[in-house]
């Protein structure tokens, strides 16, 4: 589970504080279960200047899903590449 949380932070852009207009700092993430079958990860951020807080939710990576390089492509897309 820790690996899933770490993977979800990679490539995540921090929100900008609406008051100070600076990037907020990530401080916590937790796995939350939603009404859908897909698990979600809630990321919590805070502003180092004013203390404003924000939350972003992302889909949890599926460990059973094949990597994109292993997915098949149609013949038409393969010829274009």
Q: Would you state the pLDDT for residue 29?
A: 86
Sequence-ordered strand ranges (E) for 8-59: 25-32, 40-46, 53-59
Q: What is the CA radius of gyration of the chain?
A: 17
Average confidence score pLDDT of the chain: 75
Distance CA 64, CA 68 (A): 12
> Do the domain assignments include residue 75?
no
Domain count, the chain: 1
> Do the domain assignments include residue 13?
yes
Q: Would you state the pLDDT for residue 42?
A: 86
> Do the domain assignments include residue 80?
no
pTM of the model: 0.62
> Do the domain assignments include residue 17?
yes
> Do the domain assignments include residue 16?
yes
CATH of the domain at 43: 2.20.25.420
Q: Would you state the pLDDT for residue 65?
A: 57
Domain that includes residue 53, residue range:
2-63
- Tell which residue, 53, 58, 56, has the closest CA to residue 7: 58
* Residues 23-43 as b or e (16 or more Cβ within 10 Å = b): ebebeebeeeeeeeeeeebeb
């Amino acid at each position: 589970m820790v690996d899933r949380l770490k993977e979800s932070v990679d490539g995540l852009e921090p929100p900008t504080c609406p008051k100070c207009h600076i990037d907020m700092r990530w401080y916590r993430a937790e796995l939350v279960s939603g009404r859908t079958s897909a698990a979600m990860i809630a990321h919590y951020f805070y502003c180092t200047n004013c203390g404003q807080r924000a939350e972003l939710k992302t889909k949890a990576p599926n460990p059973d899903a094949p990597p994109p390089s292993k997915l098949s492509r149609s013949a038409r897309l393969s010829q274009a590449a």
